[in-house]
């Protein structure tokens, strides 16, 4: 893969950005039309925003992802378990690349979801606006502590919004590492949403492993590579009887075990990291 000719990488990158730009524009226009037509109902029942505007956005992003299939393929190693729609579920996945949301969104297609994103992404013209209309949970980071600082009350407000979403039957999607892994190795998880689950034991955790995406679009590269993404979903994990640390470690272990199902997993090079990232300057 790393020996892919530079011309092919440029072609893939230009093609990807063209397809994605068109998809975001169409999504934003359709969401605006839907929002204008359904405005009173969206105020009365906020879930409709995710179900209608969110699914419109998700559908357009899936079409964009399908359009990239000549270069990017997806192989599901373990499908989603049953019972997601009848439970409060937080989907947790490892994060190694900007490809991750596309692969995860394709896997969760048809399920109402709200992604946790950094607030600054929502201000990006067209793309950020479309994500905002789709319904995202955002957290405002500051430059303190290597970019891990947050605005006062931002995390508490986001957690409260997450609880409301879960109560409405919407899955919350989180990358618990908090930032992409530069090496592709699984990083330690942060406690935030595990604490939410322990405090509300009717919430389940769904571990999902995304593998090989760090080779398709490395954090350190602006150019893309062709290849295959591998997806494996675990069983729902209940927080009942577990501490925050136990739930966190159990989920971490589950995702690492799922990563090992990938035919391209390198046991020597991809052992988990043991220290939290000190900086998140390369983004969430």
Q: What is the pTM of this model?
A: 0.92
**Cα–chain-centroid distance for residue 58?**
12
Low-confidence ranges of the chain (pLDDT < 50): 281-284
> Domain segments of the chain: what residues?
6-259
The predicted-structure confidence for 180-214, as pLDDT tens digits, reads as follows: 998 899 999 999 999 999 999 999 999 999 999 99
Residues 243 and 127 sit within 8 Å (Cβ to Cβ): no
Give the per-residue pLDDT at 248: 98
Q: Which of the 8 DSSP states describes residue 230?
A: E
Per the rule left: phi > 0, alpha: psi between -120 and 50, beta: everything else, 169 is left
Give the per-residue pLDDT at 78: 98
The architecture in CATH of the region 6-259 reads 3-Layer(aba) Sandwich (3.40)
Helix, strand or coil for residue 140? coil
């Amino acid at each position: 893969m790393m020996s892919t000719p530079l011309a092919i990488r440029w072609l893939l990158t230009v093609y990807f950005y063209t397809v994605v730009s068109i998809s975001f524009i169409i999504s934003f226009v359709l969401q605006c039309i839907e929002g204008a037509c359904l405005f009173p109902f969206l105020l009365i029942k906020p879930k409709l925003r995710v179900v209608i505007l969110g699914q419109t956005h998700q559908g357009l992003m899936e079409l964009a992802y399908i359009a990239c299939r000549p270069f990017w393929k997806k192989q599901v190693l373990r499908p989603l378990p049953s019972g997601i729609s009848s439970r409060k579920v937080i989907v947790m996945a490892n994060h190694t690349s900007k490809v991750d949301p596309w692969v995860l969104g394709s896997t969760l297609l048809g399920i109402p979801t709200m992604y946790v994103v950094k607030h600054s992404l929502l201000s990006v013209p067209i793309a950020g606006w479309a994500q905002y209309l789709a319904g995202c949970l955002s957290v405002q980071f500051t430059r303190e502590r290597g970019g891990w600082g947050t605005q006062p009350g931002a995390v508490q407000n986001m957690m409260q919004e997450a609880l409301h979403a879960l109560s409405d039957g919407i899955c919350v999607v989180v990358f618990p590492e908090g930032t992409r892994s530069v090496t592709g190795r699984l990083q330690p998880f942060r406690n935030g949403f595990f604490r939410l689950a322990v405090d509300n034991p009717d919430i389940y955790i769904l571990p999902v492993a995304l593998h090989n995406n760090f080779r398709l679009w490395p954090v350190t590269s602006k150019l893309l590579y062709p290849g295959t993404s591998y997806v494996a979903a675990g069983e729902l994990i209940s927080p009942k009887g577990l501490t925050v640390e136990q739930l966190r470690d159990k989920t971490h272990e589950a995702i690492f075990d799922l990563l090992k199902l990938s035919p391209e997993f390198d046991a020597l090079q991809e052992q988990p990291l043991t220290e939290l990232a000190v900086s998140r300057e390369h983004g969430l």
